[in-house]
Amino acid sequence: MSEVKGRLRRSLSRWASSDDQEAKELRSDSAKAGCCPIAEAGDRDRVELQGSLRTVTLRPRGGVPALEAELYDGSGVITVIWLGRRRIAGIEPGRAIKVEGRIGVHDKMRVIFNPRYELRY
């Protein structure tokens, strides 16, 4: 039984350290691009952020289509919303992206509506 626990503990440790490594790489890439870390970006500030899209969903708002994406940069998460869009080529989970816009708060979530964006490789 203790062998199984040890194997599970090692697997969890490797998984956690790979997440830490990904976060470090995202923070480093964001800093190299001259972008603000999401965790340090203030509400109502105009910012440039860079990170990886975790999720992309179509969620209508007030009868208007809205494409929502969760952007993660290793320091924090922000929701990016394109109103009036059902799909944008290249906007998909796992994609690296740089966005520019003004941070707001909607339903207690930090968001950027209709940002300028640049797909990264």
The pLDDT of residue 13 is above 90: no
Task: Find out if CATH 1.10.645.10 is the number for domain 2-120.
Answer: no
User: Residue 100 has which token pair?
Assistant: 């520019």
Tell me: the pLDDT tens digits for 17-65?
A: 567 888 888 888 898 899 999 999 999 999 999 999 999 999 988 889 9
Signed CA dihedral, 28, 76, 48, 43: sign only: negative
- Phi/psi for 16 (5° steps) reads -65, -40
pLDDT (tens digit per residue) in 53-104: 999 999 988 889 999 999 999 999 999 999 999 999 999 999 999 999 999 9
| Whole-number percent of the chain with pLDDT over 70 | 87
| Alpha helices, H only, the chain | 2-32
Find the range with the poorest average confidence among 1-5, 7-11, 54-58, 73-77.
1-5
More confident residue, 1 or 26: 26
pLDDT at 105 over 60: yes
User: pLDDT category, 106, cuts 50, 70, 90?
Assistant: confident
Please give the model's pTM, rounded to 2 decimal places: 0.81
Distance CA 50, CA 36 (A): 8
Q: Where are the domains of the chain?
A: 2-120
Specify the pLDDT at position 11: 61
Q: Which helix (H) or strand (E) holds 107?
A: none
